[in-house]
Structure 1
């Protein structure tokens, strides 16, 4: 019996959803910095796909086409999101994405463009600059493809990319230089990072001020996000002495007796702090490979941004997730 056209269209859309949803979600998340909004964007994009099944037969590059649907919706969303962030209490940090279930296969390269620290830096860019930079750096689209997604020429896309790089200096250039080798998930770089995190969290939990001072660069920065729901610094804390002082306070009060767990966060291993099964904080730490010291620490305490991971933590069998 011949399959009805409507059933065939639905089946085709379902196959596209299975194949491309991880990529589309990953792009939307890195454009917006929020999980729920990224999920909404992906659903909207696929709703649009379902409404025009006949047009899909004429799509030559499905990856670029679906990415375009996502990016343009993200650009519209960022206009209102930026207004909301201006009214946000204290420092706004992206919502941590814990685990790797939503990452496309290409993200297995684990480069710095997929890290939480890089996601924070992207807020320096305009929405269009951010789109160009994310598509080029994190997903390897060429300038012609990017220009086609944005309704621009490849020359203009290249220009926007150059502008974005300048805005991200020097941190952006430093982080881009730290690309990890493809397929080296269990290699030296991830192993070294895990050791660094273990060393940092040990000093943090023991409130070893001397050890923490030695790990921080002179111009270290600590940014905390409580969203007005949990007490946190309203402005970034600058300088290693002041950063160490606040870290000591956080360790002795907010995260006293909390269990520290190393898990992937937005593409790279970071620290999660649990207490009585509840996730209290996600802390992302960025090392300067040149000096071997910590440049930036981002701590998310806002429970609204941790709610998706609020379920009690259970020790997984996968040794990628390490309790320290």
Structure 2
């Protein structure tokens, strides 16, 4: 077996492996590190002993992802303000044709997955999103098959109890609501904003204490509308500020630039025709990943 064959197999599955790790970690940059370390381990494997490359590599990257979660637990505990997953800039809209994949990388789902334990999260992702059997998952997380079945049941019940029931939002509606939001916010139209926001609309900002941002979620349509009006008013006072519409986590997002410097990414969550959540990522460390479009797959 040659190094080229190792590379070929790994490269073919890389979008899937990246998606698994990203959904476990919520960090694109850490996912890259996990994949790099996993590849070094994979390069030393005798391919004659590998019966199913996909299952083998899925187990390998899951174990490395869980190691990364444990290594970063203290950093997460000491984090200043709300912690949000890193935004994932997609280079194509293929995920929108796969409802399960699209929902699994949505900011809303990733935030929900943060409420699971690391093992529950890994088991849920591998079983519910990627459809691996319990034997493969047991090998990946170091548990018995019986234990994995129990963890899978517990995690699925937890997610279902908290996941909002809604029909997938079609692209035309997303575009229309986003354009209406941009117009209302840019012109200071408070009534226009309120007509788009759900009564319990929430603004959550992640700065890690490294830039100015609310350290607690802002809840309520009127409070969120006032915050947005102030934000866009401040942007208008700086002539080199601009907003670009991008696709992050298979949803509309606004990228705010000061000159060529990315200041923040704002993801919009739409449920039942209303904007229910804004996720504002301001931590500069988490914005590095937005410079690199990604491919996802399952």
Normalising by structure 2, we get a TM-score of 0.86
1:206 pairs, out of 163, 175, 187, with 187
Query: What SS does the aligned partner of 1:280 have?
Result: strand
Change (3 A) 1:106 1:152: farther
- Tell me by how many angstroms 1:179 deviates: 5.3
Residue 274 of structure 2 is matched in structure 1 by: 293
CA shift, 1:300, in A, is 0.8
Q: How does 1:62-81 map to 2 (within 5 A)?
A: 62-81=53-72
Q: Does 1:241 align with 2:222?
A: yes
Structure 1 pair 179/209, CA: closer, same or farther in 2 (3 Å)?
closer
CA 1:278–1:261 in 2, change beyond 3 Å: closer, same or farther? same
Structure 1 segments unaligned to the other structure (5+ residues): 1-7, 181-188, 312-324
Structure 2 portions without partners, runs of 5+: 293-298
The residue number in structure 1 matching 2:91 is: 100
1:128-147 correspondence to structure 2 within 5 Å:
128-147=119-138
CA contact under 8 A between 1:45 and 1:70: conserved in structure 2? yes
Residue in structure 2 matched with residue 192 of structure 1 by the alignment: 173
Q: Which residue of 2 aligns with 1:261?
A: 244
Map 1:79-94; keep pairs closer than 5 Å.
Answer: 79-94=70-85
- Rounded to whole Å, the distance in 1 between the matches of 2:256 and 2:164 is 30
SS of residue matched to 1:51: coil
SS of 2:132's equivalent in the other structure is: coil
- Larger relative contact order, structure 1 or 2 (CA cutoff 8 Å, min sep 6): 2
> RMSD value over aligned CA atoms?
2.5
Matched, 1:221 2:202: yes
Tell me the SS of whatever aligns to 1:149: helix
For residues 46-69 of structure 1, the C-alpha deviation after alignment (integer angstroms, 9 at most, x for no partner) is 1111122x2x22322211110111
Give the TM-score of the pair, scaled to structure 1: 0.80
Residue of structure 1 in register with 2:98 after alignment: 109
Work out whether 1:277 is the aligned partner of 2:260: yes
